[in-house]
Structure 1
Amino acid sequence: MEADQWRFHGDEDDDLIRDADYLSWFAVLKARAPHPGAVSWRRSSSLQKGSPVVACGSPFGSLCSDLFNGTVSRGVISNLAGEHNAIILTDARCLPGTEGGGLFVMEDDRLHLVGVIVSPFGWKANEWIGLTLVCSVHSILRNVVQCADIGDPLRDVWLHPTEVFTTRKSNVGEYPIVCLVDSGHQWGSGVLVTSELVLTCRHVVNGKSTVALKFYHKDRVLDSVGNVLFSTKASSPYDVAVVRPRESILDVVVPRMAHEFNTGECVLVVGYGGLGRRCGPSLTCGVLSKAISLHRQTIMFQTTCAVQAGASGGAVVRASTGELLGIVSSNTRDLSAKVTYPHLNFCVPVSVLQGPLHRFSRLGDVTAFDALDASEEQVKRVWRLQDTQSKL
């Protein structure tokens, strides 16, 4: 955690240290009488990224419990790590006081407990990431049983979980392949648009001529080196770079490019924020909150998906079809208040990129991308907040 600059919950340094010390502590309480509405639980080993989940807790603890007790939030599983998916990240929005609450999946029109909320707030490199850390309930129960000195205190609830459990199958395999792009001092994400081309952001390649690429593809981890073919100038409003892997990536399905940008539609960001650098890309869900057009061409769009450091260059996809809408450029930072807003982010649409990509595929000439530098003043005005956006 120190290497990745993670911090959890609280505002003062002492609170942060204390919270980190107790992240792995759990208590088992016995009710005086069985509750008639006891919920069933499921193992987390079969969970998938992108699976829809429901978080339930009590924001602000005992403060106005009649108002806040049992508050529900929806989201998806953003990432999974550890043995049998012991660690779960979700973008379901939780608040302080929801620690100890449950994370549930839906099966047969019923909610089933899969995890316990550990920390609803997390910072990474001094930026709030908008994700919630959850521990698998299966891992908790297993460790309680192993540590118990006398018998099995959970035998009545432990012995008979559903052995085979699968959530609604997600479309993760249909989404564009997103790789980790590492330029040495900075790292981010990149989208494989053909077997030989990766789209990412200018600030991710950081002026380098070569970058390291890592693909998590079909249960394999592939390392490669990429040559930076093109990078927009600092004066360009479009924060874009094009990288060619030195080795072709096999079994690549060329992503379908979107032609419409519909405000309010459900979208997903696939990128290496959160735990992504070590566990493959994370997924966060939200809506396309605004699309801005010029001459009938979309030149920028915004989403409410939570994006964090490492997500720059990640894919924004239409949740229903997996179509590629664009790449993430940045989220927003209030420089005066020193506050980052992970749920307000700016994206470069494929409508801007399709023309140069098509010309390059026909002619093989990197000057096809020069059009991204020759933008109108109106385009620059739309992207005028770049200096106040937080590069990821």
Structure 2
Amino acid sequence: MGRQWGSAMKAAEEAGCVVSASRAGEPEAGSWSCSGVILSRSPGLVLCHGGIFTPFLRAGSGALTAAGTVCLPGDSCGDDLRLHVQWGPTVASPAGRAERDRLGVCTPQCAGPDSGPLAQPRGRPPLPPRSAELLLLLSCPAFRAHFTRLFGGEAPEQWRFASGAPEDEMSEEEEEDQLRALGWFALLRVLPGETAAKGRGAAVAVAPLGAVPKGAPLLACGSPFGAFCPDIFLNTLSRGVLSNAAGPLLLTDARCLPGTEGGGVFATRPAGALVALVAAPLCWKAREWVGLTLLCAAAPLLRVARAALGSLCPASAALTALLPPEVGAPQGLPLRDPEPPWAAAAVLVECGTVWGSGVAVAPRLVVTCRHVTPREAARVLVRTAAPKSAKIWGHVVFATRETSPYDVAVVSLEEALDGVPIPEPAEYFHEGDFFIPGGDGC
């Protein structure tokens, strides 16, 4: 694997952790867990997803959407809240090797007579869970504003952002709690005597908002299924790119699963810098799965944390100096790359409840997939990015048959597209030059 990925992998694995929340004296009530990022090693500071705290809020999940609420102090949750943080040993230090040898067996929930060879992995099993306390619940106002504008706020039309529970097993109240907690995160402190790793100071550096351009490679690090069997799932890595951005609301095609909420997403430039945290690993539109992960940029979250520690937690104000620094954008490069022409030529095509992508090949002609616009003469809506949110109606003038090996449709528009560059067809290409799985006409 290239050197650029090696640096990001090391930073991601050493900063990754799992956070679990439970009620004191109520083991039958179960626990809630998510992924997190170690911000400081000693004392240990951890940033994780805020969704696991909704069952413990004294005022209920409605406190997260109250007007003007950006942060909540740790005592917003009940006194029965118990938190534990678990991480893996750091790179092969003497202490890490000794701990690994001492704990060279699987945790009780994974071990058993029928567990097979995976029951005793010879890799680097996680260290025992450490107790922690909640300092702050915090959100990024700009993230919430963009989410409301793009998806519809508390009740996004046709959109669903899911956890691991199947839709028919979640109550309406649970779904509302989950949506209200979207974009909320938690700052924790590992209790004294239980440091988050050997050494002192920041565990990661943070990329400023906008420093990573669209299309740049990213590495997501989270633990699928949270605290369930961390011996195999802790700090699972997934590669992708920054697919799109709207302020601090980012999208990536790096594959993330339930339980990775709160996990860190790292850049290769600046090498190993923390770009964002996973806000929602899975989402659907109109019951169709969207293979993109929703992220919240880390830099604005930490700015909120710095301001809130001083105002809401005066006793912990000194911890602001331990929050990780931002690393500058590469010299000579703008914060955002200009939009490439091929991106502007891509359009959104909607036909009833069916939707997909298309490509403008002439001022009044769009090519898409037949399964997006399956009927000739069907009226469809085309949305463009330039100018933003422009809407033009059109009709399907050609569509291949269902039995055809080609999945193509052509849409004739009622108005000409304005400001959309028309792509030139390639004359030559080689096998492997382009591969877009599930491109849906783009």
| Range of TM-score over shorter length | 0.5 to 0.7
Give the secondary structure class of the aligned counterpart of 2:268: strand
Following superposition, the deviation at residue 132 of structure 1 comes to: 2.0
Deviation by residue 1:244-277 (Cα, 9 ceiling, x = unmatched):
3331544624233364462xx374xxxxxxxxxx
TM-score normalized by structure 1? 0.57
Instruction: State whether structure 2 residue 170 is matched by structure 1 residue 13.
Output: yes
Is residue 141 of structure 1 aligned with residue 309 of structure 2?
no
Equivalent of residue 351 in structure 2, options 183, 186, 198? 183
> What is residue 211 of structure 1 aligned with on the other side?
380
Unaligned 5+ segments in structure 2 are 1-154
Quickly say closer, same or farther: Cα 1:117–1:258, change in 2 above 3 A: farther
The 5-angstrom pairing of residues 352-371 of structure 1 reads none
- The answer to whether structure 1 residue 61 and structure 2 residue 230 are counterparts is no
Q: Please state how far the C-alpha of 1:187 moved relative to its aligned partner.
A: 3.2
Distance 2:417 2:177 in 1: 48
Deviation at 1:203, TM superposition (A): 3.9
- CA offsets, 1:41-73, max 9 Å, x none? 022334433221011122333344344333221
1:234-313 alignment runs, 5 A limit:
234-245=402-413, 246-250=415-419, 252-257=421-426, 259-260=428-429, 262=431, 265=432, 267=434, 288=435, 305=437, 307=438, 312-313=440-441
Q: Which amino acid aligns with 2:289?
A: W
The within-5 A match list for 1:22-33 is: 22-31=181-190, 32=192, 33=195
- Report what 2:368 is aligned to: 200
Label 1:248 to 1:20 Cα distance change in 2 as closer, same or farther (>3 A).
closer
Amino acid across the alignment from 1:13: M
Q: Highest Rg: 1 or 2? A: 2
Structure 1: state its 5+ residue gaps.
268-287, 289-302, 316-392
Give the superposition deviation at 1:200.
1.3
Give percent identity, aligned residues only: 34
| Contact preservation (8 Å) 1:92, 1:132 | yes
SS of 1:42's equivalent in the other structure is: coil
Q: 1:93 aligns with which of 255, 258, 272?
A: 255
Shift of 1:77: 1.7
**Aligned position for 2:291:** 130
CA distance in structure 1 between the partners assigned to 2:355 and 2:385 by the alignment: 16
Q: Give the SS at the match of 2:294.
A: strand
Supply the RMSD in Å over aligned alpha carbons: 3.4
**SS of 1:202 mapped into structure 2:** coil
- When the two structures are superposed, what TM-score results if normalisation uses the length of structure 2? 0.52
Residue 169 of structure 1 deviates from its aligned partner by: 7.8
Could you tell me which residue of structure 2 aligns to residue 121 of structure 1? 282
Q: Tell which has more relative contact order, 1 or 2 (C-alpha 8 A, sep 6+).
A: 2
Residue type of the partner of 2:286? A
Q: How many residues align?
A: 268
- Whether contact under 8 Å (1:114, 1:138) holds in the other structure is yes
**Inter-CA distance 312–120: structure 2 relative to 1 (3 Å threshold):** same
- Indicate how the Cα distance of structure 1 residues 169 and 118 shifts in structure 2: closer, same or farther if over 3 A, else same: closer
Shift of 1:190: 1.3
